């Protein structure tokens, strides 16, 4: 007996080829989502050392450099404890180089706590 996921995958493969309901990129996205459980966790997650972050224990100049060099729109905000104890996150567009002195008061706290 075929499970729901297997049934969807089988139908997505057969019917999607003939279907005009979805664009090719949408079909690819659906296939990716449905096969996500088969991927190893290391293939999905980013190693902690590679997480882009704004360290508010660094100098203002170092923080400014980090904001200017990152390609991401949101940054994890950390203090001296680092990535293991995040303080929250900050949207890059709401934080110009003029507001760095206020970084402690404008980052958003995470919804879930330990």
Quote the CA–CA distance of 43 and 35 in Å, as a whole number. Answer: 13
Beta strands per DSSP E along the chain: 53-55, 74-78, 88-91
pLDDT in tens, 16-69: 555 567 788 888 888 888 888 888 888 778 888 888 999 999 998 898 888 889
Q: What is the pLDDT of residue 92?
A: 82
* Domain spanning 48-106: CATH 3.40.50.720: no
Q: What is the pLDDT of residue 58?
A: 93
CA atoms within 13 A on the CB side of 4: 0
pLDDT in tens, 68-102: 899 998 899 999 998 889 999 988 877 765 565 66
Taking the domains of the chain in order of start, what are their residue ranges?
4-43, 48-106
Question: Quick count: other Cβ atoms within 10 Å of Cβ 103?
Answer: 17
Q: Is the pLDDT of residue 4 over 80?
A: no
Quote the CA–CA distance of 75 and 11 in Å, as a whole number. Answer: 40
């Amino acid at each position: 007996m075929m499970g729901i996921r297997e049934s969807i995958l089988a139908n997505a493969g057969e019917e999607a080829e003939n279907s005009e309901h979805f664009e090719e990129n949408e079909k690819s996205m659906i296939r990716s989502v449905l096969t996500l459980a088969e991927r190893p966790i290391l293939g999905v997650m980013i190693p902690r050392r590679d997480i882009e972050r704004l360290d508010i224990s660094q100098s203002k100049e170092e923080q400014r450099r980090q904001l200017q060099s990152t390609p991401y729109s949101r940054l994890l905000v950390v203090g001296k404890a680092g990535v293991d104890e995040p303080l929250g996150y900050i949207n890059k567009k709401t934080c110009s180089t003029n507001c760095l002195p206020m970084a402690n008061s404008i980052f958003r706290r995470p919804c879930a706590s330990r």
